[in-house]
Amino acid sequence: MRVGSREPGVGNRPRAPAVAALGALVLTALAGTARGQDTTAHSGVRIGITYAPGTRPSLAVMRTTSAAGLDSVRAILERDLDHSDRFEVLWRPSAGDVVDSAAIARVVRGGAAQVLTLVGDSGGVARVTVMDVRSGQSLHRARIPLADVTGRAFRLRVHALADDIVREVVGQAGAAASALLYVQGGRLWQVDADGHGVRALPAAGSPALSPAWAPDGRRIAYTAFVRSGQPIVVQDLVSGARTVVPTTEYGLNITPSFAPDGRRLAFAHGTEAGTDIYVWEGGTGVSRLTVGRFADNLSPAWSPDGARIAFVSTRARSPQLYVMNADGTDQEVLARFDFGATGTTSSPAWSPDGALVAFHREVGGVPQVFVLDVAGRGVRQVTGAGRNEDPTWAPDGRHLAFVSTRDGRRDLWVADLETGRLRRLTSVGGARLPAWSPRFTLTAERE
């Protein structure tokens, strides 16, 4: 994965006229490679367009009939496919209009779009067809019942379809069918990955901090400030059931992190002798991983194979990034630092493919998001404008959400590490401590 060390500036992505020009350019450049080339991805999925970094297929999403709710499907798909950053989405002034077969034929003949997503309907069901324009081959077909088109379940179904389309066309799924937790005003909030559906979650205490997802996308863990303590609470988002992690009824309990197995949970427990990382093994079993002795050890982040844990420690006075085995052995520095010179380093997040760890580090007293290559230990700065903190990975492994003050207030932003494109996710002010969910498993019915 290519990681830009430059600032991914807002709006540095070519828009309408430039896109058209680029589309034509890409078309010429890809004339030999994009056309109906069959490629087999790792999962055995046959795909029709070869994806190469920097040369993205152009794509249009068009509505062919006028049934109620159909434009919702078209608009959500178009935005999700755009947010995947895998395509040059052709924005048309008449995007909401119904196109006829002559218009489609013009697009096909003119070669403006390489991938065409057509949204039509029959009998209360949206029918979505994805075509490789050059070969005329159908890449994907799906149907979604047009019921309760403003409801969450409906939106989620369309997001999941968008992820399927990305996978069918480029070989790796998108991250549209996911959501982020964050803290604002001491409460827990959830927002869909496209910025819609902001809602408050009932929490066990106020403030509620450091929300974390379980791999099942159904349970979350967080620190709850209750009257007589700061326990780690595990909460089921569907049933609402809550439990306290054993031993967290006492002292300071912060930064919970579910292991990839969904069973173990690491957290930091603070006493008068400092803060250390513990792992709850399920049941009543809690074991200690660090022995800080008046130092702080916190913010555990599991590697996706569950074998390693990145964490923050003040063992060398300033908070820096370390890594250890999941049983607490082999503790070592993860992100190199100059003693006394490198700024406070915090909030590690391990990428879904295990290759990278995102974190933030103060540069001249201002936190910026960095990405570390775990194998080579090289570090690259991802942000530069404003204060940027607390990165969290999208399930597609190429997008990062983080807190940024680049627009004046603390809000959540999403950066695509490959193109450097940036989008704003929330506009609430005071948003912090985001956690991106795994991809929700709710799939559109396939034809």
Partner 1 sequence: MNRSTRCRLAVLWAVLLSTACSQNPPPQAATPADSAALRARADSIARAERARADSLAAARRDSIARADAPMERSRADSVRAQIQENGGSAPPATASGLDAAAEAVLFETVLFDYDRADVRPDQAAKLAAKLAILRANPRLEVRIEGHCDERGPDEYNLALGNRRAAAVKRWFVEHGIPESRLTIVSYGEERPADPASTEDAFARNRRAEFRVTRAAR
> Site residues (CB under 8 A) for partner 1?
186-187, 202-210, 223-231, 233, 242, 244, 246-247, 249-252, 254-255, 268-276, 278, 284, 286-288, 291, 294, 296, 298-299, 312, 314, 319, 328, 344, 346-347, 360, 365, 367, 389-390, 432-433
In the complex with partner 1, the residue whose CB is nearer, 286 or 385, is 286
Q: Minimum CB separation from partner 1 for residue 407, in Å?
A: 16
Q: What gap in Å lies between CA 288 and CA 277, rounded to an integer? A: 6
In the complex with partner 1, the residue whose CB is nearer, 69 or 434, is 434
Contact 122, 157 (CB under 8 A): no
Q: Minimum CB separation from partner 1 for residue 183, in Å?
A: 8
Q: What gap in Å lies between CA 413 and CA 31, rounded to an integer? A: 35
Q: Minimum CB separation from partner 1 for residue 252, in Å?
A: 5
Which tokens go with 34? 């994009």
Q: Minimum CB separation from partner 1 for residue 112, in Å?
A: 47
In the complex with partner 1, the residue whose CB is nearer, 77 or 400, is 400
Tokens 């844990």 belong to residue: 309
Q: Minimum CB separation from partner 1 for residue 219, in Å?
A: 14
In the complex with partner 1, the residue whose CB is nearer, 215 or 274, is 274
In the complex with partner 1, the residue whose CB is nearer, 255 or 419, is 255
Q: Minimum CB separation from partner 1 for residue 5, in Å?
A: 23
Which tokens go with 25? 């350019």
Q: Minimum CB separation from partner 1 for residue 431, in Å?
A: 12
Contact 156, 164 (CB under 8 A): no
For 144-170, letters b (16+ CB in 10 Å) and e give: bbbeebeeeebbbbbbbbbbbbbbbbb
According to DSSP, the β-strands at 58-63 and 115-122 are parallel
Helix (H, G, I), strand (E, B) or coil at 220: strand
Which tokens go with 153? 């379940």
Q: Minimum CB separation from partner 1 for residue 381, in Å?
A: 17
Task: State in Å, rounded, how far the first CA of the chain is from the last one.
Answer: 33
DSSP 32: T
Q: What gap in Å lies between CA 404 and CA 389, rounded to an integer? A: 7
In the complex with partner 1, the residue whose CB is nearer, 145 or 274, is 274
- The strand order across the sheet containing 88-89 reads 88-89, 58-63, 115-122, 125-132, 137-145, 445-446
CA distances in angstroms from 234 to 213, 223, 262, listed in the order given: 10, 9, 12
In the complex with partner 1, the residue whose CB is nearer, 112 or 232, is 232
Q: Minimum CB separation from partner 1 for residue 195, in Å?
A: 23
Residue 135's identity, in one-letter code, is S
34: buried, middle or exposed (CB in 10 Å: 19+, 13-18, 0-12)?
Answer: buried
18: buried, middle or exposed (CB in 10 Å: 19+, 13-18, 0-12)?
Answer: exposed
DSSP 125: E
Q: Minimum CB separation from partner 1 for residue 6, in Å?
A: 25
Nearest 5 degrees, angle CA 357-CA 362-CA 365? 170
Q: Minimum CB separation from partner 1 for residue 109, in Å?
A: 56
Could you give the dihedral angle defined by the CA atoms of residues 363, 404, 213 and 171, in that order, rounded to the nearest 10 degrees?
Answer: -90
In the complex with partner 1, the residue whose CB is nearer, 272 or 332, is 272
Contact 350, 301 (CB under 8 A): yes
In the complex with partner 1, the residue whose CB is nearer, 3 or 312, is 312
In the complex with partner 1, the residue whose CB is nearer, 216 or 249, is 249
In the complex with partner 1, the residue whose CB is nearer, 276 or 411, is 276
